[in-house]
Chains A and B, each alone.
Chain A
Amino acid sequence: MKRLLYILFIGVLLMSCDRDKAVPYGDLCEVSVMAEYPSEFSSFVRQGVTVRVEDINLGSVYESGTDGSGCAHFKLVKGLYRFSISDIADQDIFNGTSDKVSITSSSQVRVGLMHSKAGSIIIKEIYCGGCKRLPQEGTYQMDKYIVLHNNDFRVQYLDSLCFGSLSPYNSNSNNVWVSKDPVTDAIIYPDFVPIVQCIWQFGGSGHDFPLQPGEDAVLAVHGAIDHTIQYPLSVNLNKPDYFVCYNSTYFTNPSYHPAPGNLISQDRILDVVIKTGQANAYTLSLNSPAVVIFRAQGTAIEDFVLTPDAVKPTPGDTHNPIVAIPPEWVVDAVEVFNGSTNANTKRLQPSLDAGYVTLSETYLGHSLMRKVDAEASQKQGYEVLSDTNNSSVDFYESEKQSLHE
């Protein structure tokens, strides 16, 4: 009996080797990505255009070039992906993004490309994330600002230029303006740009605020004061030639909108074209604004906002209607994503900004800055910034505000 049990023991011992070996990446999905150019630009289909694929949850990125038929091939694990294409051919820019595409088996993804041209006045910097109140306790965010830049070789004018941000305020908020194609999973954007809460406009009669080639203009979103007096990690926005969003009638909150500093001239205070929200302070997202600058075409913006379809109610929110701006009026736009979540949704259609820049963390004095095109700058003799209408390519996150001294 004991001998039998010994044999049984050895037998089971030998059988304990596991023959079922896990195969790494055993079930990859073969994905073909087709770049779809606008019909009038079909001749641009060619080999070698870079297609970028990003796993939204894991952050892994893959790139491959298109073949002669405009198709790029990938092998991917199951996941949620963002497919983007940015094709620059001289002055023609083609951008397209297919966002939150679920890949669970071999599939074909179509990325529709939109045509655009490089901008003249562009957004150079967005500082919205605030900083610490050190040496005091707490955080501070009333020092937000935008820097605009003339990227053209000709003088540009800020007169009548409009500024606003898109709905929803945050990239990870519920976005009622976009939908998903049930067949292709592609994001469908509205045929307008939904500006939330307020449209600000630079003053001037046409030639009052010139920007020389390579020159910058600073726009203080809240207080145009010297914030560094109280909070050394902040910035001084009380400088001559700075602009400010200030209106004591519509935005009465003195913490967010203190009276502009003594160095700010009256003509550099932006006008409120229309206020649709109810807040007593202008709201620009702390962690993920989508910012636009635009100029009305064929009409004055003041007349446009009075037209019947200009102001639309926001589904599910009766307190915050939006102003529906035609996309072709947009001079430049930048999408910022919230780095503390992966549940971000693009608000800007790809023709305005094919990508996004991520603000990794708030209250650290980080700022989002556009990269310098060193080669073009040297050639042109003034600072030329990267402008592919794709903030994934054009922007980076800086550790400090450019205006911090």
Chain B
Amino acid sequence: MRARNSHCMSRGLITLVAVFCLAATSSAQQYDRVVKKNHWSVSSNVNGIRQDRAEDAAYAELYSGLERGGFKSYSESLNPWRAGAQTAAIVHLDRFSMAGGFSFEQSQGDQMCGSMFIHPGIYPVDMIEFIPGKKTLQTYAFDGGISVDLTPSVRLGGKMDFMSSNWSKRKDLRHTNYRLDLAVTPGILFHSGDVAVGLNYIFKRDTETITAEQIGTGESTYYVFHDKGLMYGAYGPWGGSGIHLDEVGVSGFPVVRNFHGGALQLDADGSLFELTYLHGAGKAGEKQSTWYRFPSNTWKLMWSDKYMFGETVLLSRLSHEYNSVRNSETVLEKVSSGGVSSIIEHGENLIYSEKSQETVLEDELIAERWEFLLRVSRKSTSSEAFQMYPFVAAQNLDLYGITLAPKLRRTAWELGAAFTFAAGAVKEDSYKTAEDSGVVTSPFRLDEYYQMDMEYKTSKRLGVDVDLRIHLPRQIYLKLDASVIKAFNIKTLGGDMRYASTIGLGYEF
């Protein structure tokens, strides 16, 4: 028995070690083309990598880039730079296939303030500080998936995505953030002829904690705005009550979300349908001091059609995603009894609700020597904030975008361009649900930042992106990318242009 196990382990190790070597000896099909040609690549079921198999592919790349320009959100830097390394591979063997990759990126920007979160806007609450300083972000990520043929008709597989991010600002009001993103998706797929049915479970978790501190002394203290929805919230000293950055018994401002859900896939005659549902449970705070709870529901319907005429592939994709989230603020009381302090929760009040729908249509032609992509998207979001009775603030935000991206491919080089037009519209309404409430105070809104945020999201803009890839000897490639965005009718932001460039050096196995 022991000898048999040892033999199995050796086989597994050899297989693992051979991943990149096997890929290296296969034909040098570009990784992203291999991924795109498999129309199951948009599905969350990892078994799809064996369903529409193309060749093996792998690459490794070092890159560096920088941006300039005043057309940015209030949280971004005027002149950030980034550098990183990434690698990915897809390998197909007789009875199983594997896909995976890992990456590291360091980015840094000067004169940054605004949101204290790494990805502003993904939570229904935010923290905004106002002292510009240098911020550094380090991101580590890896993902890996495997799909195994159990029987000629059944495939079993699983995938894991992991990302860890560290974010720090070293000037008062200084803060450090630790963020974790994890996704696990085991799945199964039944296939017979041209028909396949897949089912997979999805678990996701993301956590982020903001730890703020003030080391220096100055004439005045540092103020923070705690956004509870539509830029309404509490404005005060960063250590004050109601801001939650410096509460006794809680480490910083922690936020956590757990998602559970699943997806169902149907593939027939070259058309793939996928229905995904995710239920999220989010909260801010910890232990007895939970300040907010925000459950969410996401439905996504995706259709992908693949048509081959000769060597040319036509991929059509239509997706529609519906998302809703509600945020409730808890009523907490700190009581002391016998020298022991405890927190009592007296219930919660709903203070914010948001619903969004996003529709994306893509048509992509992939031929041997050229490609063409057309992408049209629309996202509509309805939000309501009601933090102080009887005031209600409502917003409808519509964002549109269209992209045309042709690409030429030759043996020694590839040249692509992307032309993008985007715009948006915002409609707002503020009202009171009762005129005789007797309210004396009114909710506070950070108007200046709200105007900047809306202008950044909704202003009309044209973007041009040019990328050149030069194939050097020994499967090495050099990648150059440059883009410019021109926005129109800018009044509150620092500029109407944004430039970006990236250089990369890679190797295709």
Contact = CB atoms under 8 A, between A and B. Distances in A.
A and B bound?
A: yes
Contacts of B438: 53, 62-64, 74
Interface in A345-382: 360-361, 364
Contact of A100 (B241, B333, B350): B333
Nearest to B333: A80
Contact of B346 (A5, A102, A360): A102
Contacts, number: 126
Given A1-B269, A5-B273, A78 B389 contact: no
Contacts of A61: 439-441
Nearest to A52: B440
A339 B240 CA distance: 7
B152 interface: no
Given A24-B384, A78-B348, A137-B217, A340 B389 contact: no
Interface residue range, chain A: 35 or more
A89 to B, nearest CB: 22
Interface string A321-340: 00000000000000000011
Interface string B329-355: 001111010110100001111100101
Interface string B381-400: 00010111110100000000
Interface string A75-104: 111111000000000000000000010101
A137 B218 CA distance: 8
A342 B248 CA distance: 12
B220 interface: yes
Interface stretch (A9-17, A40-48, A218-226, A247-255): A9-17
- Considering residues B195, B324, B439, which has the most beta carbons from chain A within 10 angstroms of its beta carbon? B439
Nearest to A23: B350
Given A8-B273, A24-B386, A75 B434 contact: yes
Nearest to A104: B347
B437 A75 contact: yes
A174 B390 contact: no
A372 B121 CA distance: 47
Contacts of A57: 241-242, 331-332
A57 B271 CA distance: 55
Contacts of B389: 25, 28, 60, 75-77
B239 to A, nearest CB: 6
Given A60-B441, A78-B331, A9 B433 contact: no
B322 interface: yes
Contacts of A364: 220-221
Contact of B440 (A16, A62, A340): A62
A80 B434 contact: no
A25 to B, nearest CB: 5
Interface in B252-294: 266, 268-269, 271, 273, 275
Interface of A: 1-2, 5, 8-9, 12-13, 16-18, 22, 24-26, 28, 53, 57-64, 74-80, 100, 102, 104, 132, 134, 137-139, 174-175, 316, 339-343, 360-361, 364
Given A16-B320, A343-B241, 14 more contacts: A26-B350, A60-B388, A77-B349, A78-B346, A78-B349, A104-B347, A138-B217, A139-B217, A174-B341, A175-B336, A339-B240, A342-B241, A342-B242, A361-B237
Return the 3 tightest CB-CB contacts between A and B, nearest first.
Answer: A22-B353, A24-B386, A174-B336
22 contacts: A1-B195, A1-B268, A1-B269, A2-B268, A12-B275, A16-B301, A18-B322, A18-B355, A24-B350, A57-B331, A61-B439, A64-B438, A75-B437, A78-B346, A132-B217, A174-B336, A175-B336, A340-B237, A340-B241, A341-B240, A342-B242, A364-B220
